[in-house]
């Protein structure tokens, strides 16, 4: 081999190493419930992360560095979630972790992140994740409190004073029930009935008959499919005309399909993503929602879901924080996340502060009513 060729070769090799150093990927971890009972939440989240990471990398990455996503499946199992979190923190040396999908798993791994000094951006709903504030933990899903406030404001505006609640006895329902019990009297309304049903119950006429006897102005039901659909059907069966509010837990087409004609006229708070086609063009979120929905449908051949939106916001917020601080160091990401103001995401407009790690308010929800087997924005 001649000296010139060796030199050229060495030069190329050197350049190769240099350019590799310059574009060292930013490692972002995620632990999601891609399989198991919460797979309907975790799968769109995984899809969304892959979609966005590809898009960001194609357009040159963040700070010129590509994003490397390391995504683990916790199978909706708290133990597997803890193991996956340990692996991300100790072995993979990621700068930030997105997820977990469900509240229980998030609460189980939260404390690790303040010890490791790595930011965690959860996609779960429970208020306990950000209240009290853990400096290293953020979340992108709207809190139950925002949904409850939205419903109660609507009820107050309409002139409903006596309210009845019927909640499911699982984690989602218990959290909603606690907030309802707190906010109903706090907003000057009266709670006249507080009924509970089991997640597998198939007939709630007994609870509804009891509520009917107390003659409330409106009923609020807090649960996820299929319970609320049964309640909607039972309400029609008992010829009750009392207005019925549902939680954001049933803001999917599946609910309308299950409840059938009984869904007509029911009201609920939903994220803007569920009704993005009806969001007015001048709304801050319109462009983000339309782009995300279109990209998602083209790539995965299925409609976008609000749950994917949580992951959408989590990844883009981290990218934003890295750009703001011009650094992918965990501490810098954390500090800059706290400074983000007016960031337009799929779930709402985020404005974080050292006291507020959710960054959303009740404006993140719109009130919708079921009409002609579809959602219609009413407020």
Partner 1 sequence: MDPSSLLQYLITGVTVGATYGLTGLGFTIIFNTTGIINFAQGEFVMLGGILSVAASTAGLPLPLAILTAVTVTTLVGACLERSCIRPVSSSSTINLIIITIGASILIRGLVTLIWGKDTFALPHFSSMEPIRFFGAAMLPQSLWVLGITLILLVALKSFFARTMWGRGMLACSFDPRAAALMGIDVSRMAMASFMISAAVGAVGGVILAPLTMTSYDVGILLGLKGFAACILGGLGNPFGAAAGGVILGILESFGAGLLSSAYKDAITFVILLLLLFVRPTGLFGRSASERV
Give the range of 153-161, 189-197, 316-324, 360-368 binding partner 1 by CB under 8 A. 189-197
Least distance CB 129 / partner 1 (angstroms): 25
Binders in 320-339 for partner 1, by CB under 8 A? none
Pattern 129-168, partner 1, x by CB under 8 A: ----------------------------------------
Q: Does 354 bind partner 1 (CB under 8 A)?
A: no
Binding piece for partner 1, criterion CB under 8 A, among 191-199, 272-280, 281-289, 324-332: 191-199
Could you tell me how many residues of this chain bind partner 1 (CB under 8 A)?
Answer: 31
List 88, 94, 258, 317, residue binding partner 1 (CB under 8 A): 258
Return the number of the residue (144 or 195) whose C-beta is nearest partner 1.
195
Instruction: Give CA–CA dist 299/53, Å, rounded.
Output: 13
Strand residue runs (E) in the chain: 26-32, 67-73, 96-98, 120-122, 137-139, 162-168, 190-197, 218-222, 244-246, 267-271, 343-344, 349-350, 365-371, 374-377
- Residues 98 and 30: their CA atoms lie apart, in Å, by 4
Least gap, CB of 144 to partner 1 (angstroms): 19
Instruction: Pick the binder of partner 1 from 198, 265, 303, 354 (CB under 8 A).
Output: 198
355 burial (CB, 10 Å; 0-12 / 13-18 / 19+) is exposed
The H or E element that residue 369 is part of is strand 365-371
Choices 202-210, 242-250, 294-302, 338-346 (CB under 8 A): range interacting with partner 1: 202-210
Q: How many CB atoms lie within 10 A of CB 93?
A: 11
- Cα–Cα nearest to 94, from 307, 315, 277: 315
Instruction: State yes or no: cis peptide before 226, omega within 30 of 0.
Output: yes
Out of 64, 132, 213, 280, the only residue in the binding site for partner 1 (CB under 8 A) is: 213
**Contact indicator for 327, 335 with CB cutoff of 8 Å:** no
Question: Which of 24, 86, 161, 203 is the binder for partner 1 (CB under 8 A)?
Answer: 203
Instruction: Provide the b/e sequence for 267-293 (b: ≥16 CB within 10 Å).
Output: bbbbbbbbbbeebeeeeebbebbeebb
Task: Tell which positions 222-241 bind partner 1, by CB under 8 A.
Answer: 225-226, 229-230, 236-239
Interacting residue with partner 1 among 117, 157, 210, 253 (CB under 8 A):
210
Minimum distance from residue 364 beta carbon to partner 1 (Å): 27
User: What is the spatial order of strands in the sheet that 96-98 belongs to?
Assistant: 67-73, 26-32, 96-98, 120-122, 137-139
Please tell me the distance from the alpha carbon of residue 371 to that of residue 263, in angstroms, as a whole number. 8
- Per CB under 8 A, the list member of 197, 296, 343, 375 interacting with partner 1 is 197
Sign of CA dihedral 36, 99, 134, 149: negative
209 is a contact residue toward partner 1 (CB under 8 A): yes
Calpha distance 190→194 (Å, rounded): 11
261 binds partner 1 (CB under 8 A): yes
Helix H or strand E encompassing 164: strand 162-168
Q: Which is nearer to partner 1, 205 or 351 (CB)?
A: 205
Q: Shortest gap between Cβ of 140 and partner 1 (angstroms)?
A: 25
Smallest gap from residue 181 Cβ to partner 1 (A): 13
> Which of 237, 242, 202 has its CA nearest to residue 218?
242
Interaction between residue 358 and partner 1 (CB under 8 A): no
Minimum CB distance to partner 1, residue 196 (Å): 4
> Cβ of residue 202: shortest distance to partner 1, in angstroms?
3
Q: How far apart are CA 31 and CA 368, in angstroms?
A: 32
Instruction: Decide: 99 and 46 in contact? Cβ < 8 Å.
Output: no
Q: What is the contact surface with partner 1 in residues (CB under 8 A)?
A: 37, 39-40, 169, 195-198, 200, 202-203, 205-207, 209-210, 212-213, 225-226, 229-230, 236-239, 254, 257-258, 260-261
């Amino acid at each position: 081999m001649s000296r010139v060729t060796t030199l050229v070769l060495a030069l190329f090799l050197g350049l190769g190493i240099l350019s590799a150093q310059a574009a060292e990927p930013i490692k972002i971890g995620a632990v999601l419930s891609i399989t198991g009972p919460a797979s309907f939440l975790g799968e769109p989240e995984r899809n969304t992360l892959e979609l966005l990471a590809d898009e960001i990398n194609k357009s040159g990455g963040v700070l010129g560095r590509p994003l490397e996503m390391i995504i683990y499946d916790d199978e909706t199992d708290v133990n597997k979630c803890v193991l996956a979190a340990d692996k991300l923190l100790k072995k993979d040396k990621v700068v930030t972790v997105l997820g977990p999908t469900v509240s229980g798993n998030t609460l189980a791994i939260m404390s690790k992140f303040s010890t490791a000094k790595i930011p965690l951006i959860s996609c779960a709903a429970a208020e306990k994740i950000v209240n009290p504030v853990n400096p290293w933990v953020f979340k992108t899903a709207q809190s139950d409190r925002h949904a409850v406030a939205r419903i109660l404001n609507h009820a107050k505006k309409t002139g409903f004073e006596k309210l009845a609640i019927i909640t499911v006895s699982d984690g989602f329902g218990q959290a909603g029930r606690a907030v309802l019990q707190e906010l109903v009297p706090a907003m000057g309304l009266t709670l006249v009935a507080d009924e509970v049903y089991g997640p597998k119950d198939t007939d709630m006429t007994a609870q509804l008959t009891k509520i009917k006897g107390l003659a409330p102005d409106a009923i609020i039901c807090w649960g996820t499919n299929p319970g609320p659909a049964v309640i909607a059907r039972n309400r029609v069966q008992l010829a009750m005309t009392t207005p019925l509010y549902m939680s954001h837990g049933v803001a999917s087409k599946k609910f309308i399909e299950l409840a059938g004609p009984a869904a007509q006229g029911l009201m609920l708070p939903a994220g803007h993503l569920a009704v993005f086609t009806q969001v007015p063009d001048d709304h801050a979120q319109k462009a983000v929602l339309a782009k995300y929905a279109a990209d998602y449908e083209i790539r995965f051949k299925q409609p976008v879901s609000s749950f994917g939106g949580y992951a959408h916001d989590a990844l883009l917020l981290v990218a934003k924080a890295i750009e703001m601080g011009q650094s992918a160091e965990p501490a810098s990401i954390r500090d800059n996340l706290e400074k983000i103001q007016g960031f337009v995401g799929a779930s709402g407009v985020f404005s974080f502060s050292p006291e507020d790690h959710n960054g959303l308010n009740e404006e993140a929800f719109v009130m919708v009513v079921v009409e002609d087997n579809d959602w219609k924005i009413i407020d």
